[in-house]
Amino acid sequence: MIERHLVSTTLEIPSYRIEGSFGIVRGIVVRSRSVVGAVGASLQTIFGGNITLYTSLCERARRDAYERMVAEAEVLGANAIVGMRYDATEIARGISEVLCYGTAVHASRSP
């Protein structure tokens, strides 16, 4: 399993040397809002502030996309991911895609 500290938004990992690249890996999740969630979120907008129902939905989608990316990297034999990014697109009203991507690499501790 790829440890969390070995996934980085930078192109290097402190104290590690990149020894090889397996190429780009990604995790994609497409989610829609439920009718109940949309009604609950609409009620939260009346009072303003953080719309917790949508925050939870977004966090779940990002976590799932991240986990799929890591799983793809592990299948390739990587033990780290560099240059990790998120992207999100609204495909249709109420339907969003969340993409998590990066470069799967083999990294070893620097001496």
pLDDT band with cut points at 50, 70 and 90 for residue 103 = very high
CATH superfamily of 4-109: Hypothetical protein apc22750. Chain B (3.30.110.70)
User: pLDDT tens digits, residue range 48-96?
Assistant: 566 677 778 889 999 999 999 999 999 999 999 999 999 999 888 878 8
Task: Compare 109 and 49 and report the one with higher pLDDT.
Answer: 109
Give the pLDDT mean for 31-59: 65
**pTM across the whole model:** 0.83
Query: Is there a contact between 54 and 88 (Cβ–Cβ < 8 Å)?
Result: no
Q: Is the pLDDT of residue 36 over 70?
A: no
Residue 100 · residue 66 · CB < 8 Å: yes
